[in-house]
Amino acid sequence: MQTPPPFSLAGLRRGAALALPFGASSVVYGLAFGALAAEARLSLGESLAMSALVFSGTAQIAVLPLWHASLALAPIFATVVVMNARYILMGAALRPWLAGLSAGKTGLSLAFLVDGGFILASRRRSGGDHDVGVLLGAGLVSYTGWVLATGVGYELGRGIGDIRRLGLDFILVAFCASAVAMLWHPGRHVVPVAAAVVAALVIDGLGGGNWAIAGAGIAGAVAGGLMHDGRG
């Protein structure tokens, strides 16, 4: 059993503060989802419950068109899994770091797992900040913004205007670009990133856009594993 990583309130606060830039993107998507949910004639309670329990913008927006169809649970389950397959990969990547933490702390950290939080925590960790509280704190900020914004978007409806015009749909992409630029270590990253880019291009080109992120993650992991010389 290895010694557990630190998990502190200070780390939680640090993660929360650092998450504000991409937390803003959760708010933007929450507004958009709330507006779309109102349009799809979900009740406010249903919209909020969905955001609070599912916490996945792309998946929730994708399910809305199926809402008033017959109760087709299998396609709904499959849609959400496809949209969130990337989290399976992120969870796997978190294993060595979280090993040794109590089940409760691990469960909490995974329950609020979100793209921006994962990226932020990965960056902090490569800079020497191993506090798992950072991951949870960032996830909580994003979650809070997402749920509150769902309600606001529901009430404002179309009044919020087009987020694309303002470039707000670009926040998560910009957050990734900035993180990659700061993390960049050519010796370690060129091969896995090249594999990931090729995988994403191929999958997206074949029309499987929802699988692009997970596919890129798998390709990068395989490339990263293969290029390792097998020694410690």
Partner 1 sequence: MTDADKATVIIAVMALAAAFCRFSGFWLMRFVPITPRVQAGLSAIPVAVMAGIMVPAVVRGGIPETAGLVATVATAKLAGNDLLAILAGLACVALLRQVV
3-state DSSP assignment of residue 112:
coil
Cβ atoms within 10 A of the Cβ of 78, count?
Answer: 11
Residues within window 31-60 making contact with partner 1, judged by CB under 8 A = 42-43, 46, 49-50, 53-56, 59-60
164 lines the binding site for partner 1 (CB under 8 A): yes
Q: How far apart are CA 75 and CA 17, in angstroms?
A: 38
* DSSP symbol at 170: G
Dihedral sign for Cα atoms in the order 108, 110, 114, 115? positive
User: Which is closer to partner 1, CB of 1 or CB of 181?
Assistant: 181
Apex 80 CA angle, 74 and 81, nearest 5: 85
Q: Are 83 and 59 in contact (CB under 8 A)?
A: yes
State the DSSP H helix or E strand holding residue 135, giving kind and residue range, or none if neither. Answer: helix 132-156
Pick the binder of partner 1 from 37, 132, 141, 172 (CB under 8 A): 172
**Least distance in angstroms from the C-beta of 136 to partner 1:** 13
Residues 210/82, Cβ–Cβ less than 8 Å: yes
Residue linked to tokens 């004639």: 41
Q: Is 185 helix (H, G, I), strand (E, B) or coil?
A: coil
Q: Which of 91, 108, 129, 152 binds partner 1 (CB under 8 A)?
A: 91
Member of 17, 102, 167, 206 binding partner 1 (CB under 8 A): 167
Q: How far is the CB of 159 from partner 1 (least distance, A)?
A: 19
Binding flag, residue 10, partner 1 (CB under 8 A): no
Nearer to partner 1, 134 or 219 (CB): 219
Q: How far is the CB of 32 from partner 1 (least distance, A)?
A: 16
- Interaction between residue 171 and partner 1 (CB under 8 A): yes
Asked if 197 is part of the footprint of partner 1 (rule: CB under 8 A), the reply reads yes
Give, as ranges, the residues between 115 and 144 that touch partner 1 (CB under 8 A): 115, 118-119, 122-123
| Stretch touching partner 1 by CB under 8 A, among 3-11, 81-89, 130-138, 145-153 | 81-89
Q: Render 88-109 in DSSP notation, one character per residue.
A: HHHHHHHHHHHTTS-HHHHHHH
User: Which member of 186, 187, 207, 230 binds partner 1 (CB under 8 A)?
Assistant: 230
Per DSSP, 70 falls in state S
Least distance from C-beta 108 to partner 1, angstroms? 11
